[in-house]
């Protein structure tokens, strides 16, 4: 997919099942919620450079973190939602928002893609376990 200035000019990015960019469609796994939840916590707490987890709620499936952006030391907000879809499969969606500035130049999109890539790796997810993989 070719990136345009318009796709890099906002100050946030999020996943959506119907996103034009297939890599921003989030994830639907055939892996049970508990395994995905534990792996998402591990990735959030230990593998995402500059992240600090601020809030965790396993009942609603929400992880809230702030991402430190170097060298400016600005902080961005990240929200991860994990739940079951209408078919009982585990669904993961993210939203990353810059606190400052009108443009993020693709930083929030890259942050989401990095998290999803690391989550796939942490889960050792096979292609047949990721239902909407691009």
Q: What is the pLDDT of residues 46-105, one digit of tens each?
A: 999 889 999 999 999 999 999 987 766 788 899 999 999 999 999 999 999 888 766 677
Q: Which two tokens stand for residue 91?
A: 């669904």
Q: Is the overall model pTM greater than 0.95, yes or no?
A: no
Q: 5-129: what fold? A: Alpha-D-Glucose-1,6-Bisphosphate; Chain A, domain 4 (3.30.530)
Cα separation, 117 vs 104, whole angstroms: 20
Return mean pLDDT, the chain.
Answer: 87
**Which pLDDT does position 117 carry in this prediction?**
95
Confidence of residue 11 (pLDDT cuts 50, 70, 90): confident
SS3 57: strand
Residue 36 Cα to chain centre, angstroms: 13
In percent, the amount of the chain with pLDDT more than 90 equals 60
Strand partners, 82: 92
């Amino acid at each position: 997919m070719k990136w345009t200035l318009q796709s890099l000019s906002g100050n946030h990015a999020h996943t959506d099942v119907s996103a034009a960019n297939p890599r921003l469609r989030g994830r639907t796994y055939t892996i049970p919620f508990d395994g995905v939840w534990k792996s998402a916590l591990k990735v959030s707490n230990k593998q995402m450079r500059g992240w600090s987890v601020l809030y965790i709620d396993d009942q609603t499936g929400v992880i809230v973190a702030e991402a430190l952006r170097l060298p400016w030391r600005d902080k961005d907000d990240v929200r991860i939602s994990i739940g079951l879809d209408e078919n009982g499969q585990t669904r993961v969606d993210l939203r990353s928002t810059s606190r400052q500035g009108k443009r993020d130049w693709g930083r929030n999109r890259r942050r989401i893609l990095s998290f999803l890539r690391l989550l796939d790796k942490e889960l050792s997810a096979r292609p047949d376990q990721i239902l909407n993989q691009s």
